[in-house]
Structure 1
Amino acid sequence: MKKLFFLAIFAIGATMASHAQTISPNALGLRFGGGNGFGAEVSYQRALGDNNRLELDLGWRNDSNRYDAVKLVGLYQWVWNIEGGFNWYAGIGAGVGSVDYDNDRFDNRDDEVFILAAGNIGIEYNFDIPLLISLDFRPEFGFGDDDVYDAFSPDIALGLRYQF
């Protein structure tokens, strides 16, 4: 019984210690991905506690012969320390976007608005200098009538952010 009691105390202590790390109050940078062709996104992270944060990403896409598109995604993330500066994180979120078609190529097609639901999982390294590098996977499910963003879109991205 004593062994079980000490094992439970150890497990609770290890769990509390794993949540004791702090994340940077703010991080601003770029997220380089390829989900549905949106490419680079301006990314901002804001800490909401010791182990959770809000991430906002603004992406744009310019297909010079067909359309221009922009999307804004917001994610709530939980962050867990692996060891030292390594963390892993997971989150959920949603977004909205707009597609502006080139009417010369699409026979006066109406501009479109879409919404999306997203998940997020990734790993990051927090350097001793104010640099955060991350690699994540974000599956997005778009809902809209456009050809650009109306279905499942997997997005794998590399993030580089300045922490302050």
Structure 2
Amino acid sequence: MAERWAGIQVSGEKVTLVDINVPDDDGLYEIVADKTFSLQAGDRSQAYKVMHDRLIGYIRENKISKAVLKESALPLKGSPKLALLHSAELRGVAMAAAASACETKTLAKASISRRFGKRKADEYLRDDDFWEETIEGADLRAGSREAALLIISSAKKKAPK
């Protein structure tokens, strides 16, 4: 029987959550929902509480059994900016919310190629054929592929073609 998993990625002041039915065999991953939650304006501490509650609510209401979150990464060029720190704060809120509602793990984008397949994550993200052969169901926005890949690389025992 398929399990519901959430792939969660934070960027700026937005949380992207991809809700997927993970097959227990070699079947296709079914996209149930592709959502973006935006941080509300105003006091950040209150906005974080609202985001925390929204994420917990979504996970519990939709019976998500596992969540995989993209880990923070340092910028390749220059020094970190305030926006990077704000994203890290929001990522922490998302991690705490997910861990409060289901089994949760984090995954670095760089580790995807080491533990899943022989290609780099960005190659999978650009490969339309990979997505057509791997998923079905609701539309998946191109910008949400990374959140979906977190689930696929964590759940799949063997790398796709």
Greater relative contact order (CA < 8 Å, ≥ 6 in sequence):
2
In terms of fraction of residues, the more helix-rich structure is: 2
Query: What's the TM-score, normalizing by structure 1?
Result: 0.27
Q: Which has the larger radius of gyration?
A: 1
Query: What's the TM-score, normalizing by structure 2?
Result: 0.27
In terms of fraction of residues, the more strand-rich structure is: 1
